[in-house]
Amino acid sequence: MRVVALIAGLLGLIASPAGAEQFVGPNGSFTLDFGPEWQVIQAQNRGGVICKDEACGGDRVFCILLPRADEGATPGQALPDTVVKKFAEGVVRMPPPGMKSEFVAPFTPRTLGAVPGSWGEIVTRGDKGATHFGLFLFAAPGFDVAFSCGAPDGRWAAHRGKIETLLATAKVSAAATPPSAPGAHPAEPEAQPR
Residues 9-65: pLDDT tens digits?
322 322 223 456 888 888 999 999 999 999 988 655 568 899 999 999 999 999 999
**C-alpha dihedral over 68, 71, 73, 75, to 10 degrees?**
110
Asked if residue 124 is part of any domain, the answer here is yes
C-alpha distance from residue 76 to each of 64, 154, 157, 170, 171 (Å): 22, 34, 29, 12, 10
Query: Does 25 reside within a domain?
Result: yes
Task: Specify the pLDDT at position 97.
Answer: 84
194 within some domain = no
Task: Decide if 6 is inside a domain.
Answer: no
pLDDT of residue 4: 29
Residues 135-175: pLDDT tens digits? 999 999 999 999 999 999 999 999 999 999 999 999 998 76
Quick one: pLDDT at residue 174? 75
φ, ψ (nearest 5 deg) of residue 79: -65, 150
Q: Domain with 108 in it: what CATH number?
A: 3.40.1000.10
pLDDT, residue 78, reads 87
Q: What is the pLDDT of residue 53?
A: 94
- In 3D space, the residue among 30, 10, 12 whose CA is nearest the CA of residue 22 turns out to be 30
Tell me, what's the pLDDT at 8? 30
Q: What is the mean pLDDT of residues 4-8?
A: 30
Is 79 contained in some domain?
yes
Amino acid sitting at position 173 = S
Based on the structure, what is the number of domains in the chain?
1
Domain that holds residue 149: 19-172
Distances from the Cα of 85 to the Cαs of 91, 135, 136, 162, 185, in angstroms? 10, 12, 13, 26, 17
The answer to whether residue 134 sits within a structural domain is yes
Which tens digit of pLDDT belongs to each residue from 174-193?
764 444 444 444 444 444 34
Separation of alpha carbons 153 and 174, rounded Å? 36
CA distances from 84 to 51, 79, 139, 143, 193 (A): 27, 7, 11, 13, 29
What pLDDT is attached to residue 43? 53
Q: Which residues contact 39 (CB under 8 A, 6 or more apart)?
A: 49, 50, 51, 52, 193, 194
* In contact, 143 and 123? CB cutoff 8 Å: no
Whether 118 is covered by a domain: the verdict is: yes
Q: What is the pLDDT of residues 82-127, one digit of tens each?
A: 999 999 888 888 887 888 999 999 999 999 999 999 999 999 999 8
CA distance 63 to 167: 9
CA distances to 11, 71, 175, 186 from 31, rounded to whole Å, are 31, 19, 12, 22
pLDDT at 194: 39
Best CA proximity match to 194, nearest among 33, 24, 40, 52: 40
Give the model's pLDDT for residue 95. 81
Q: What is the value of pTM for the model shown? A: 0.78
The answer to whether residue 146 is domain-embedded is: yes
